[in-house]
Structure 1
């Protein structure tokens, strides 16, 4: 079983982020107590009581104090058994990573996910990140020097000083700036790198600026070039692209995230957290005050959705095709009774002809060319 905990607090709002969070920290203690209560209230959501992975996401979980982490883990251990080799990940911002903070975290977690996003100062300022370029580099070294070997960092590509209206900081091209980020990530010797294309969501500062014409849309051609540039460079330097946005050295896959891609059941606690038990999904309310109030009244504040066989197949298509494990047609047949090769014959024929996919042992895989069209391929194959 897998447990996700959403910690919905940040020091400041990043201009690209549309996740649920609050910059008002006064309710943090009450919310931690509510999360502990929800762990108790949700104890029967999944039949298994042994945790393989625990993931603190957000928001900014590194804002949790040592005592707050202790409170949460006390609740976890009261309800669940924890495997001896459990993966426990906590997301952190570089400006939170100090020697003292690491000492607080080490008794609780064994994997640190650092939201660097860029090593380029103008991009960090544009995104309204709370850290600077020097901290981007120093925080990784500090974590490693303190004994954290299992690290992952987040990067964002598809950015352009020209498109974002940033004053040109150098004569370097967009690709050269991205190359410098990649080289720094590799030089830091992090075993895992997650890299995401910049997406401008409507309910964000970037979305508002785009609407007002202050910035230009992200160019698909630029993103595609930087995506291929990233794959080539990271592969050359020993990283395996085991999911479209995730690269690992020496098998350092993210076990928690891999469970999502493999349709494993998981429980999500905290405001806006999602849960999946194989047959349904549920979504906690994305409102801190209402979440706390409801939990205090011993009510679970969620909406649920019963997944049809087609829903389950479509979810599986969307996630599995992005991974090195591919989309097992036998799983689709087991879920729905449908032979996808027959039902989606015209689409699949075109994808094979375009060399976007290939098949081995009844499993569909994206080709390097096909990875550029992953979402389109999945949606074309959806059952409706």
Structure 2
């Protein structure tokens, strides 16, 4: 964000004033520039439609830095409506048109989004934190590869890219100078060991085996989504084209928070997640977000996706919301899970993990014996 503001707003303003250094500005000119920097418009994907908090969510600093607007998915299809996004962009005229997601299960046409950005005069920025590994692995190509179309691309390195906790920014030459000043003007304290870890992860991502991994992630995601639907679950948009999916739990008369907690009790780690136009809000939610990168890394395939879907469904069917003694209404947080279902689900999870251990090279029994004394 800072590099775009600096390049598109700060530097042209300094040029008009005949200056090259902010420190030389009179107080009045500095205040005018400061207000201009803080009133630029950002148009990003709405949080409830799968956008990230940093894409203009009002409680996030991004909505303090910008005059933030959001576009949503279509209420009926739950898909992005590019014609509607273009209409909004032409009306709002944002400095930045932002694409990317943390919970959108379909592909984004980044070429179409770049065309919209060019038409309204915006900088096209993409947050590919969640799907960078699918880009590096060659699964997202053509119109669906953001690097080929965006002017600025940001990503974490620890999700599908499978590297250390950290980040990376790619940009066109226009923003290079400002981007290279990001440290120390925006961030500081570079961590050499993390930099080295990133280099290792990028090297791994360039290997042929990483392409197999990335392709398998999507294959497993589609298999898991199809299995969940066969088990009677409802998914937002009906399935997935990437590594994640959203399970609508309202048919079980529970919230996402209750489902998340009950599944965790059984050894299944998912997170509660808002659905588009979610009546339960961002805290309790009506959905669960599931993804396949971790289980793919463990070596699981389509048969295991079917088993995971069956375990998830077993748990969901056996959760009951507790009734509040205060108002006799179902709780959105407290719940009960049938002990028999919990026992069976936990046993099946352990069976899977025994077959696909997280660290197969470690002798866990030996470690327990030697260190858990």
Q: Per residue, is there more strand in 1 or in 2? A: 1
Relative contact order (C-alpha < 8 Å, sep 6+): which is higher?
A: 1
Instruction: Indicate the structure (1 or 2) with the bigger Cα radius of gyration.
Output: 2
Q: Which TM-score bucket, shorter chain as reference?
A: under 0.3
* Structure number having the greater helix percentage: 2
Q: TM-score normalized by structure 1?
A: 0.26
